[in-house]
Homo-oligomer: A and B are copies of this chain.
Amino acid sequence: MSLIVMKFGGSSVGTTERMGRVAQRIIEKKLQGDRVVVVVSAMGDTTDDLIDKANEINDNPPSREMDMLLTTGEQISVALLSMAIHKLGHEAKSYTGWQAGIVTEDVHAKARISDISPDRVFAALNQGSIVIVAGFQGMTESGEITTLGRGGSDTTAVALAAAIKADVCEIYTDVDGIYSTDPRIVKCARKLNVISYDEMLELAHLGAAVLHPRAVEYAKHNKVNLVVRSSFTHNEGTLVREDAEMEQGVVVRGIAFDKNVARISVLGVEDLPGVLAKMFGALANQGIDVDIIVQSGVLDGKADFSFTVSLADRGRAIDVLAGIKNEVPYRETTYEEGLVKVSIVGAGMVSNPGVAAKMFEAISNVGVSIKLVSTSEIKVSCVISAEPVHDVVRALHTAYGLDTAETAFVGGPQDRR
């Protein structure tokens, strides 16, 4: 008998009919003899509809009141899911975040969970009930209703799993696991059976819609076993856990790529103390995330910088740079779009020399030139032109031996969207 947390996202419960299928899925687990705690998001477009309504009334609503408003979305979900389970003849009880004992910092819109007192969850489990908890929400010590921000329901599930010492936290989604790369592009992309927290974080772009990085970090910190699996099939899914065992010869676990990249270069920057801090501080203040940063050598007291930002931030980034030209004198800015960042990820990389060299070689063999490079202990990223990216990903998939199925291939590209 296991203690299991099952988390279902908004699209899994988007209609009353889907709600019924999820109820069935939960009951199957219960009938296996497991004790089950379910975390649910708001149904389909509920949250967006509520935000639209708020904006009709106030284009800048107080975040306290937004939290009051948005938390109703998950409360509706848990009540309806409980009704669906009752309809199928099983006992279930729904709880809001605060009823489940989820205490957060005194911050609205993006509170962090500070404590969980799962007394009522255990009491209901001990009565043989399925427990359904509203994701994304909690309460401050002083009784204010809060939300956890993006990825909130994943975080609720992981935090609850840690608090009740669940054997596993299953994240149900519309894909059946984490893949070695995007199966729409590489036909023989393999579903990974197991992956480490760190690798999962680096592969976020392959799993961003599936599993929020914040929840992965929480799971890593609290050693919660996470499983990503499909709510439509019974395939096994991908287990995310600490120190995933090294599989024979597996150095690179997966290949991620991000098509949403722009390069900005700032040329002829005067090499004064603090110019870098000023430049990137100004960008951060405008909420612009800078990814890879490269500085070429200083010549005649002038340096050239290049960095990448998401495509959507490109215009704003250049405006910010123009606005600080007095403080950070430079000659000119240039930019380049139509780029992609390809990354190889694997915890085994650190102890295997030559992994990066093999990447550069594979890319060069496809006749593609590398514009920027960035490395970490478990990742190498290269920025290249967008248009040959599929060839590059396929070449890397082959070069690192990922085409060889480690297990029977289950699920196909049609499951992924």
Contacts and interface: CB of A to CB of B under 8 A. Distances in A.
Contact of A65 (B94, B99, B120): B94
Contacts of A120: 143
A94 B62 CA distance: 11
Contacts of A57: 16, 19-20, 80, 83-84, 87
A377 B349 CA distance: 92
Interface string A54-93: 1011100110111011011001101110111011000001
A83 B68 CA distance: 11
Interface residues on A, range: 35 or more
Nearest to A19: B57
Q: Secondary structure of the A side of the interface?
A: helix
Nearest to A20: B57
Given A16-B53, A72-B75, A99-B143, A62 B86 contact: yes
A145 interface: yes
Interface of A: 16, 19-20, 50, 53-54, 56-58, 61-62, 64-66, 68-69, 71-72, 75-76, 78-80, 82-84, 86-87, 93-94, 96, 99, 120, 143, 145
18 contacts: A19-B57, A53-B76, A53-B80, A54-B83, A57-B83, A57-B84, A58-B86, A62-B86, A65-B79, A65-B94, A66-B79, A68-B75, A69-B75, A69-B79, A71-B75, A72-B75, A72-B79, A99-B145
